[in-house]
């Protein structure tokens, strides 16, 4: 016989825990189930690089960062924007600080203290090792350490993650199950990911090296200042992630190796080359191009032109790549449950009483704290509307 529960949350990442917290504050009795042996595994992984919780900026700027999903997420972010996320962390005993780029981190620079405090405050039952396997009649079925179990909930919030970092729990295995029930889904696509490059042998000494102080251009879109890393597999890092969505969708990538100099200034310095000086030495001395930048120039510009044409190449070096790295390596994913598939409270139109939050939804965000903020905001929104669901 199925176990009757009031509110069931499937998934113990940031979106699921926030939904559970919101349901509990509204007086609902909450059971959280999680497929992995512990809660918040991807959240903890994010903490290894400092746990960028949000971006300290005006709400309008935060909302705009979500691009095509901005108007959809705007009311949710209004209730869980940067200021509120910072206050939430502080209330859990985790003071935060804002870095020079506006990114906000816990002073502890890791996720585990915050996660422990959050789970203590929740006070909800969390059952780990419970993997949702589908439905048995009107009940929700799970494979558990104690065998097959079924639950009959009054209301459900799904927070099962996207389709990257499967070993941490976000494997996208839920998608076929929802599709069978008529839920409209967009195909999964990588977001905030690196790109494959088939390097020539001369690039090998530069693997692992950062390419600093450049500007990246994706097609005719905005120019992004930043840096990226040359790896044996290709290119990755913050600068690449900032333009990754445009590159994924077909835009060409170009890099300005000297964004603080105009093309005319670059050409003038090139023209002042001493007669007996090699081009490589002149690029190093007159333009301060470091070895990895010179290597990139050779990789994508050879045979190198001269004069104004070389200046133009330095200011807009085309970077040829072979497409995104595999989906499972992406920091996050686009695709999933579409906006059309849910109502204004994030309830599935095809499954009344079932709400969705976090990366399951078809929105994507740049790096900079927007992913965690978006998960918290959608989790709170889904939990709030699930709390008043009466069936």
Residue pLDDT, tens place only, 72-94: 999 999 999 999 999 999 999 99
**Residue 358 DSSP label:** G
Residue 197: per-residue pLDDT: 98
How far apart (Å, rounded) are the C-alpha atoms in residues 64 and 315?
A: 29
Position 143 scores a pLDDT of: 98
Domains of the chain: 3-190+330-387 (3.50.50.60), 195-319 (no CATH)
DSSP-assigned letter for residue 325: P
Kindly state the average pLDDT of the residues 198-219. 97
Can you say whether the dihedral through the CA atoms of 56, 366, 50, 130 is positive or negative?
A: positive
Grade residue 260 by pLDDT with cuts at 50, 70 and 90: very high
Count the neighbouring beta carbons within 10 Å of the beta carbon of residue 121. 14
Task: Report the pLDDT value the prediction gives residue 221, as an integer from 0 to 100.
Answer: 77
Q: Which of 192, 189, 196 is nearest to 241 (CA)?
A: 192
Percentage above 70 pLDDT, the chain: 100
Three-state secondary structure call for residue 234? strand
| Mean of pLDDT values over 203-214 | 97
Query: What does the pLDDT look like over 133-191, one tens digit per residue?
Result: 999 998 999 999 999 999 999 999 999 999 999 999 999 999 999 999 999 999 999 99
With bands split at pLDDT 50, 70 and 90, how would you rate the model's confidence at 275?
confident
- Tell me what pLDDT residue 107 has: 97
Residue 371 near residue 331, CB atoms below 8 Å: yes
Neighbouring C-beta atoms of residue 362, cutoff 10 Å: 25
pLDDT per residue as tens digits for the range 88-134: 999 999 999 999 999 999 999 999 999 999 999 999 999 999 999 99
Sign (positive/negative) of CA torsion 124, 128, 133, 136? Answer: negative
Query: Which pLDDT band, with edges at 50, 70 and 90, does 222 fall under?
Result: confident
Task: Grade residue 1 by pLDDT with cuts at 50, 70 and 90.
Answer: confident
Give the span between the Cα atoms of 230 and 208, in whole angstroms. Answer: 6
Condensed to tens digits (0 to 9), the pLDDT of residues 278-326 reads: 999 999 999 999 999 999 999 999 999 989 999 999 999 999 999 999 9
Q: Where are the alpha helices (DSSP H) in 80-227?
A: 82-91, 112-122, 174-180
pLDDT at residue number 49: 85
356-390 pLDDT per residue, tens: 999 999 999 999 999 999 999 999 999 999 999 99
Q: What was the pLDDT predicted at 389?
A: 97
Compute the chain's Rg from CA coordinates.
Answer: 24
Across the chain, mean pLDDT equals 96
Find out whether 175 and 185 touch, Cβ atoms under 8 Å.
Answer: yes
- Beta strand pairing call for 317-319 and 332-337: unpaired
Work out the pLDDT band at 215, boundaries 50, 70, 90: very high
Q: Count the neighbouring beta carbons within 10 Å of the beta carbon of residue 205.
A: 11
Distance CA 128, CA 380 (A): 22
Q: How confident is the model at residue 195 (pLDDT cuts 50, 70, 90)?
A: very high
What does the angle CA 249 – CA 250 – CA 253 come to, to the nearest 5 degrees? 115
């Amino acid at each position: 016989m199925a176990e009757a529960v009031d509110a069931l949350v499937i998934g113990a990442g940031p979106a699921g825990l926030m939904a559970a917290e919101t349901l509990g504050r509204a007086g609902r009795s909450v059971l959280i189930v999680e497929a992995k042996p512990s809660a918040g595994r991807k959240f903890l992984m994010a903490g290894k690089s400092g746990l960028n919780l949000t971006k300290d900026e005006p709400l309008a700027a935060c909302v705009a960062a979500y691009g095509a999903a901005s108007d959809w997420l705007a009311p949710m972010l209004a209730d869980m924007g940067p200021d509120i996320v910072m206050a939430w962390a502080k209330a859990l005993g985790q003071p935060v600080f804002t870095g020079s780029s506006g990114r906000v981190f816990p002073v502890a620079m890791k996720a585990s203290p915050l996660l422990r405090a959050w789970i203590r405050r929740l006070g909800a039952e969390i059952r780990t090792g419970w993997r949702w396997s589908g439905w048995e009649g009107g009940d929700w079925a799970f494979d558990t350490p104690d065998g097959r179990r079924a639950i009959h909930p009054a209301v459900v919030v799904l927070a099962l993650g996207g389709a990257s970092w499967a070993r941490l729990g976000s494997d996208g295995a839920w998608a076929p199950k929802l599709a069978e029930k008529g839920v409209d889904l967009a195909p999964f696509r990588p977001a905030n990911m690196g790109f494959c490059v088939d390097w020539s042998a001369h690039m090998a000494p530069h693997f692992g090296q950062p390419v600093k102080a450049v500007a990246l251009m994706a097609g005719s879109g905005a120019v992004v200042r930043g840096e990226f890393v040359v790896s044996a597999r290709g290119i990755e890092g913050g600068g690449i992630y900032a333009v990754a969505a445009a590159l994924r969708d077909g835009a060409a990538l170009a890099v300005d190796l000297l964004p603080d100099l105009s093309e005319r200034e670059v050409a003038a310095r090139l023209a002042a080359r001493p007669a007996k000086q090699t081009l490589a030495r002149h690029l190093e001395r007159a333009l301060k191009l470091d070895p990895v930048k010179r290597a990139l120039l050779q990789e994508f510009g050879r045979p190198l032109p001269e004069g104004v044409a070389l200046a133009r190449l330095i200011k807009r070096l085309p970077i040829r790549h072979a497409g995104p790295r595999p989906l499972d390596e992406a920091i996050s994913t686009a695709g999933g449950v579409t906006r059309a598939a849910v109502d204004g409270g994030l309830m599935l139109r095809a499954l009344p009483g079932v709400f969705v939050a976090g990366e399951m939804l078809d929105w994507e965000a740049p790096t900079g704290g927007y992913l965690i903020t978006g998960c918290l905001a959608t989790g709170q929104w889904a939990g709030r509307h699930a709390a008043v669901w009466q069936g």
